[in-house]
Amino acid sequence: MLPPSSKFFRLIRKLLGDLLDYLLILDYLYAKLIRLTEKKSEPIELMSNSRIVFYSAYLSSEEEYKIVQQHVRVDLKDFDKTFLINTGSYSPIPDVFPDLIVFNRKNCGRDFGSLRHIIQKCGKSLEKVSEVLILNDSIYWKPGSLKQFVSKARNSEFCVTGLTSSYQHSFHLQSFALHFKKIDVRVLKAFNSIYALRAKRTIVKYGEKKLSKSLEKSGVTIGSQFDPRIMQSNVKNYSSWYDKDIDAILALVNQGTALNPTIHFWPEFALSAGVIKKSLLKNPAKFSQAPIRNMKLIELLTEWGFKAS
């Protein structure tokens, strides 16, 4: 069998990926159909110099909704308004507080489908705001860590700051936490360049990666607070936090393989950034998706006030 690192294997994988891209027309048509059938509503007019949050969530219970509410009331209280775009089975009752507005829609395109939907509703009025924060609910935040991320992003050298980035296939900011110091014509053009498709692979390629590429191409400075290359060099310092995954991870690091920092370097990410990816609990047995769940991960979540079930 050919080793995964061989050039031939990578070529075959690329060809298969290109073939999948040609089949995206069906995915695109489906996404287009969903957008056409969505109930038309009035456009959103944003206030000048306001601070706005776009929060994409897949809510399945009232408990998950309460977590979002807690973020809005505590970590994001100095923002003027939060737009929660929910694609889950639980439809929250519209919030009685004016700083949290809830939209419920079909899950087409995951967080980037929701992002594209709300941005199109806001239109050019986005250029009037002074700050935009984009979040999704794919991670657990340690109490206070979201507020700390925002504070650091406001003082960053970058116009657009992500909590972390990835070099898998190409450099891009990961979408679960993105801070924009301002929205101008270049940023709006980058937003409008993304596609809201269904499959995870296409969302990353035509959502996350395309957004970062479009921003860089237009001259917008982007960067992250946690560089995966540095985290990769630190992995041995956290070896006691892993189960038997550590040997496989070290082998990939030694090969120079670009890894997902939220998955493969989760101990440093949890201890330094105060963030844990939810998929670490949802797919505990598959190393390709997440490290094997261990008690230290459970203890951290419990300490943060979450139920690690």
Alpha-carbon gap, residue 169 to 227, rounded angstroms: 16
In this prediction, residue 295 has a pLDDT band, given cuts at 50, 70 and 90, of confident
Distance of CA 66 to CAs 92, 147, 246, Å?
10, 17, 35
Q: Same domain, yes or no, for 55 and 195? A: yes
Of the candidates 291, 224, 283, 282, the one whose C-alpha atom is nearest the C-alpha of residue 264 is 291
C-beta of residue 128 within 8 angstroms of C-beta of residue 49: yes
Of the candidates 67, 52, 58, 34, the one whose C-alpha atom is nearest the C-alpha of residue 128 is 52
Which residue, of 226, 247, 268, is where some domain finishes? 226
Q: Same domain, yes or no, for 83 and 198? A: yes
Identify the CATH number of the domain in which residue 128 sits: 3.90.550.10
C-beta of residue 211 within 8 angstroms of C-beta of residue 160: no
Of the chain, the end-to-end C-alpha distance in Å amounts to 38
* SS3 category, 162: strand
Q: Same domain, yes or no, for 220 and 232? A: no
Domain count, the chain: 2
Is 22 a domain residue? no
Alpha-carbon gap, residue 71 to 129, rounded angstroms: 21
Is 12 a domain residue? no
Mean pLDDT of 33-37: 56
Q: Where are the beta strands (DSSP E) in the chain?
A: 51-57, 81-86, 100-104, 131-136, 139-141, 160-166, 172-173, 177-180, 222-226, 275-277
Query: Quick check: 45 pLDDT over 50?
Result: yes
Q: Same domain, yes or no, for 96 and 139? A: yes
Q: Same domain, yes or no, for 114 and 81? A: yes
Q: Same domain, yes or no, for 114 and 251? A: no
**Per-residue pLDDT at 186:** 93
Residues of the chain above pLDDT 70, percent: 77
Is 249 a domain residue? yes
Q: Same domain, yes or no, for 62 and 132? A: yes
Which residue, of 226, 244, 266, is where some domain finishes? 226
Range of the domain at 275: 228-304
Is 20 a domain residue? no
Query: Quick check: 294 pLDDT over 80?
Result: no
Which residue, of 159, 191, 226, is where some domain finishes? 226
Instruction: Centre a 10 Å sphere on the Cβ of residue 9 and count the other Cβ atoms it contains.
Output: 13
Q: Same domain, yes or no, for 188 and 76? A: yes
Alpha-carbon gap, residue 117 to 135, rounded angstroms: 14
C-beta of residue 193 within 8 angstroms of C-beta of residue 210: yes
* SS3 category, 69: helix
Q: Same domain, yes or no, for 263 and 176? A: no
Is 244 a domain residue? yes
In this prediction, residue 33 has a pLDDT band, given cuts at 50, 70 and 90, of low
Q: Same domain, yes or no, for 250 and 109? A: no
Give 240-292 pLDDT, tens digit per residue: 888 667 788 888 888 888 888 888 898 999 999 999 998 887 654 444 444 44
pTM of full prediction above 0.85: no
Residues 6+ apart with CB under 8 A from 36: none
